[in-house]
């Protein structure tokens, strides 16, 4: 009996020892796993740190290259065209009061915009954000494009400051077409006469870009926010930072394949968005949406279907901007149909800008000029809106 108890006791001790050993081995294995995980995590963190360090080095090198390219571009611009000026850091800081918030008049994806005076002239200074890598590319693009174009319906580039990444433009007292259509700042509604003229002016500026030699320029981001109005409500296309020179691939056919699309949602050519193929008729789609917004002051999304539906139902007059009380409905309907044709989904279905669209818009502008009395118009100066008595005349 004693022997049996002794054996049971020994077996129990052996089992306990075995279990203790297994527990110890399990703990050791877990510790080894933790150690391996810690080592792997450390190696991973080291690789991430190395990649981040290399990325910073690459970004710094790219920034230096881009800064050098900007300086070269601006240096060449200054040598080739005396109408442009290279401003110093000190001049920009003095004009903007060191980029004072009180001078800021806007903010975009590129960076802030300041209103100030240079050479006793009101100007708008667009400043590139330091972290805006895409903005540096757009800066060079605007310098490249605007250094070779000059047109009454394109915003005038007066100069630039490469050290700060600043572009200096003529100041447009009445802000953007978007501001005026939405009546920001309690501004008066644009008359239908102004709207008809603006439609023709935008198309005129766009055709000028498309007819540049040796290669057409496609804006790629035409929208009401990129159409600015001067103190006489003359409209000018701005923000050509996304513009592209497009090579001609065949007679009367101009297109170019882009690896990535650019522009603003609702204004981008659907065909360009789907295929990456860019052409001058890509801008025509954007123009169509802008024309429809001119007469309705409505958001761009679904605007084509809205107006087509109103025409089919016979209540087109109801979608016109109600802030204008004396719409010539027949002419407004004609303008709407031009806009709808321009905004066709397929590029081949859109009319030719120079041969079809612009002549009709010029006819509507002539109609507006004939109906324009001498009137008080408003502009937004530094102290707010103020009236100016003016005879609105046709822009040459």
Q: How far apart are the C-alpha atoms of 346 and 173, rounded to whole Å?
A: 37
DSSP string, 85-118: EE--HHHHHHHTTTT-GGGEEEE-SS-EEEEEEE
Place of tokens 């060079």: 140
Place of tokens 């810690």: 38
- Rg of the chain's alpha carbons, rounded to an integer? 32
DSSP string, 170-208: E--TT-BHHHHHTTGGGPPPPPHHHHHHHHHHHHHHHHH
Q: Which residues pair with 167 in a beta bridge?
A: 126, 160
Q: How far apart are the C-alpha atoms of 24 and 131, rounded to whole Å?
A: 55
Per annotation, catalytic residue among 179, 221, 283, 321: 221
Q: Which residues pair with 380 in a beta bridge?
A: 385
Please confirm whether the linkage preceding 214 is cis (ω < 30° from 0): yes
Annotated active-site residue 221? The verdict is: yes
Q: How far apart are the C-alpha atoms of 44 and 72, rounded to whole Å?
A: 41
Q: How far apart are the C-alpha atoms of 311 and 319, rounded to whole Å?
A: 10
Q: How far apart are the C-alpha atoms of 244 and 212, rounded to whole Å?
A: 12
Q: What Cα–Cα distance (Å) separates residue 392 from each residue in 195, 228, 324? A: 13, 17, 18
Q: Are strands 104-107 and 157-161 parallel, antiparallel or unpaired?
A: unpaired
Q: How many CB atoms lie within 10 A of CB 182?
A: 13
3-class secondary structure, 212: coil
Backbone angles phi, psi at 249, to 5 degrees: -100, -15
Q: How far apart are the C-alpha atoms of 3 and 9, rounded to whole Å?
A: 10
| 279, 210 Cβ separation under 8 angstroms | no
DSSP letter for 262, please. Answer: -
Q: How many CA atoms lie within 13 A of 279 on its CB side?
A: 18
Q: Which residues are catalytic?
A: 221
């Amino acid at each position: 009996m004693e022997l049996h108890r002794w054996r049971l006791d020994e077996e129990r001790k052996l089992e306990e020892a075995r279990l203790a050993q297994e527990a110890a081995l399990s703990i050791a294995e877990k510790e080894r796993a933790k150690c391996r995980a810690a080592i792997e995590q450390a190696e991973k963190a080291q690789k991430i740190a190395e990649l981040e360090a290399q990325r910073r080095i690459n970004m710094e090198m790219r920034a230096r290259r881009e800064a050098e390219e900007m300086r070269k571009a601006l240096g060449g611009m200054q040598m080739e065209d005396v109408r442009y000026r290279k401003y110093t850091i000190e001049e920009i800081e003095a004009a903007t009061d060191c980029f004072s918030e009180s001078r800021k008049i806007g903010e975009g994806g590129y960076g802030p915009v300041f209103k100030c005076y240079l050479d006793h002239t009101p100007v708008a200074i667009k400043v590139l954000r330091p972290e805006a890598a895409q903005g540096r590319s757009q800066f060079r693009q605007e310098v490249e494009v605007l250094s070779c174009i000059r047109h009454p319906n394109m915003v005038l580039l007066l100069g630039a400051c490469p050290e700060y990444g600043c572009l200096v433009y003529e100041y447009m007292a009445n802000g953007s077409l978007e501001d005026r259509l939405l009546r920001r700042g309690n501004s008066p509604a644009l008359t239908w006469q102004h709207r008809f003229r603006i439609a023709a002016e935008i198309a005129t500026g766009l055709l000028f870009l498309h007819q540049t030699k040796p290669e057409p320029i496609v804006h790629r981001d035409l929208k009401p926010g990129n159409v600015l109005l001067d103190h006489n409500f003359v409209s000018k296309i701005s923000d050509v930072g996304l513009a592209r020179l497009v090579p001609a691939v065949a007679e009367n056919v101009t297109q170019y394949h882009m690896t990535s699309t650019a522009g603003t949602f609702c204004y981008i050519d659907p065909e360009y968005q789907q295929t990456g193929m860019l052409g001058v008729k890509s801008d025509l789609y954007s123009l169509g949406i802008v024309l429809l917004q001119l007469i309705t002051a409505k958001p761009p999304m679904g605007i084509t279907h809205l107006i087509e539906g109103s025409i089919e139902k016979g209540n087109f007059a109801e979608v016109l901007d109600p802030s204008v009380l004396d719409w010539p409905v027949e002419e407004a309907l004609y303008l709407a149909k031009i806009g709808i044709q321009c905004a066709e989904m397929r590029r081949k279905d859109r009319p030719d800008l120079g041969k079809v669209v612009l002549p009709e818009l010029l006819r509507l502008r002539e109609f507006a000029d004939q109906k324009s009395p001498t009137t008080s118009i408003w502009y937004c100066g530094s102290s707010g809106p103020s009236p100016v008595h003016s005879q609105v005349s046709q822009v040459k």
